[in-house]
Amino acid sequence: MNFTYPKNEKLKSKTTIGLLFSEGKSVSKYPLRLVYRAGEANADEKIKIGVSVSKKYFKKAVDRNYFKRVLRETYRLNKHLLWDNVQEPYSIMFFYQTKDRLSYQEINTKTVQLFEKFLLQVNKTSASESETEV
């Protein structure tokens, strides 16, 4: 597995991000939240991911940037969980939603739990869709 986070995996499209918030589904594992949407017409990558930390909780940009860096790093190290288990392309926004300052280890553990919860939800949804097609 390639543990990188290249430019083509970064979610940057404003239209895609807008669709995420209007049509996307969500899964949470306190204090992290994942908003996702299946499929993308011009998907050159399996997963496109963006990270966000609320200005509401961290007024200083230094603090927001630190937690965004931590979120990107935890994604980079654990993305194999997603890549090995999804079949269709996904657009994902990854949020840190608390003013609590968790350590890197705690965030990493929560990220793994969140990815597992996401995969359960996605597999449950795809299984129910395949049953309705039959």
32-38 and 25-29 beta bridge pairing: antiparallel
**Do 119 and 38 contact (CB within 8 A), yes or no?**
no
Please report the pLDDT score of residue 132 as a whole number.
66
Strand partners, 50: 93
| Cα–Cα distance, 52 to 39 (Å, whole number) | 21
The CATH architecture that domain 9-118 belongs to is 2-Layer Sandwich (3.30)
Please report the pLDDT score of residue 109 as a whole number.
96
The structural domains of the chain, with segments of one domain joined by +, span: 9-118
Please report the pLDDT score of residue 26 as a whole number.
94
Please report the pLDDT score of residue 42 as a whole number.
59
Please report the pLDDT score of residue 94 as a whole number.
94
DSSP3 helix / strand / coil % (the chain, rounded to 5): 50, 20, 30
The segments of the chain whose pLDDT lies below 70 read 1, 40-44, 130-134
